[in-house]
Amino acid sequence: MPVLFGFAAIIAIVATVMAISRLNAVHALLYLVPSLLAVAVAIYALGAPYLAALEVIIYAGAIMVLFVFVTMMLNLGEASKRQEQQWQPGRGWIGPTILAALLFAAFLVSLLRAGPPTAAHYVGPHDVGLALMSTYVLGVELASMLLMGAAVAAYHLGVAVVGKQQKATEAETAAKVGAP
């Protein structure tokens, strides 16, 4: 499992650097998915399969859906549509797909060779729930407030952008109607 951990760490670092360096938000989100999956594989290689499953469900699943939803909600209008149409279709998927495929192949090879890892101490869902709602309740609440604040801010930014687009469209329509 040390080889799997090292490989997953390298994939996580490469995917994270690619996510940070992308100018397009959607391409950055595409690179963030294999980064989060690589972290889950690294956690699995360390002997914590339940925590790895939580990583995939919470971060690679729910949080990424939230990010994509907010990105879609902040529709930038016709200019971004034209810019997106100029790019080659599907080009942004190549890098994340290669990284995810390499990670999946390494995970399968490692799993077939050694079988599932044995944890030194079993931590089940009940123990995780107790820890989150007792010892770490302040951190959980702060994270939930931060995510709620981000969603509210994204909504208000999106409303402002849509309002500007509607005013511009109305002005263009009025100019066309008034023109001979």
Domains of the chain by residue range: 1-123, 125-180
Query: What would the mean pLDDT of 145-161 be, rounded to a whole number?
Result: 78
Summarize pLDDT for 79-93 with one digit per residue, the tens: 666 666 665 566 667
Secondary structure (DSSP) of 134-150:
IITHHHHHHHHHHHHHH
- Hey, what are 65's tokens? 């859906």
Instruction: Give the model's confidence band at 62: pLDDT under 50 very low, under 70 low, under 90 confident, else very high.
Output: confident
- What CA–CA distance (Å, rounded) separates 86 from 97? 22
User: Nearest Cα to 95, choosing from 34, 26, 8, 37?
Assistant: 34
* Most confident option among 23-27, 54-58, 167-171: 54-58
pLDDT at 52 over 80: yes
Question: CATH classification of 1-123 is 1.20.120.1200, yes or no?
Answer: yes
Tell whether pTM > 0.85. Answer: no
Q: How many residues does the chain have?
A: 180
